[in-house]
Amino acid sequence: MIAPSLLSANFLNLSSEIEMLNKSDADWIHLDIMDGVFVPNITFGFPVIRQIKKIATKPLDVHLMIIKPERYIKEFKDAGADILTVHYEASTHLHRTLEQIRSMGMKAGVSINPHSSVSLLENIIEYTDLVLLMSVNPGFGGQKFIHGIYQKISETKELISKNNPSCLIEIDGGVDIENAEKLFKSGADILVAGNAVFSSQNPAKTISDIRSKRVK
């Protein structure tokens, strides 16, 4: 699947960007929520998400890069999140947080930063619908892809196959047409593409081109 990230969209023309995604081959719409504390950037909050939800026809894949995400789970559900991913590094009581997300009818995801080991997920993988592996240091779009992600995908795939085969693997950061095929072949299920999509001359075609690299 492909989940274009609105972090790289034109915010002065956000409505038309979402309409483009609605008509494209995108599967989800990825929203990066940053608080300026967990990561050195601030993006958007509930009012913007609610407006996006009004016109988006694809599920909203909400990635929280905020400390203590458990404070706002109901608010993100009410704003329109369909998938809610929190960081291992930012949630003290992660099991409780994942259970709370699921109890509200959302898919529950866990993300880990590039420096974090996949082994950290061993005790909570069975409660997780999605593992999001960061292939850049979180905070800004357009960063250089970290190639060590391929090994982490393999390790995550092995962990999932033993404990929770239905869990999906999502990759976020530096995804483009050049590395999409290898990411899919390594075991990724969902690719988040931001700069590669929205900086292209034909974003909808770029989405289709990246999606075409999936393992047949």
Residues 14-57 have pLDDT tens digits of: 999 999 999 999 999 999 999 999 988 899 999 999 999 999 99
Residue 2 has pLDDT above 80, yes or no: yes
What secondary structure, in 3-state letters, does 25-54 show?
Answer: CCCCEEEEEEECCCCCCECCCHHHHHHHHH
**68, 91 Cβ separation under 8 angstroms:** yes
Residue 140 has pLDDT above 60, yes or no: no
Distance CA 184, CA 170 (A): 10
Distance CA 216, CA 51 (A): 36
Tokens of 14: 């956000």
- Model's pTM, two decimal places? 0.93
Distance CA 209, CA 25 (A): 10
**125, 160 Cβ separation under 8 angstroms:** yes
pLDDT more than 70, % of the chain: 96
Judged by DSSP in three states, 200 sits in coil
Report the alpha-carbon angle 110-115-120, nearest 5: 45
**Residues 66-87: b if buried by 16+ CB within 10 A, e if exposed:** bebbbebbeebbebbbbbbbbb
Which element (helix H / strand E) includes 31?
strand 29-34
pLDDT on residue 174: 87
pLDDT on residue 62: 98
Query: Which fold does the domain 2-211 belong to in CATH?
Result: TIM Barrel (3.20.20)
Neighbours of 54 (CB within 10 A): 10
| 48-52, 118-122, 144-148, 208-212: segment of lowest average pLDDT | 144-148
Q: What is the pLDDT of residues 159-200, one digit of tens each?
A: 999 999 999 999 998 899 999 999 999 999 999 999 999 999
**154, 147 Cβ separation under 8 angstroms:** no
Distance CA 53, CA 114 (A): 30
Q: What is the mean pLDDT of residues 6-16?
A: 94
Distance CA 20, CA 3 (A): 13
Residues that are catalytic? 32, 172
Distance between terminal CA atoms of the chain? Answer: 12
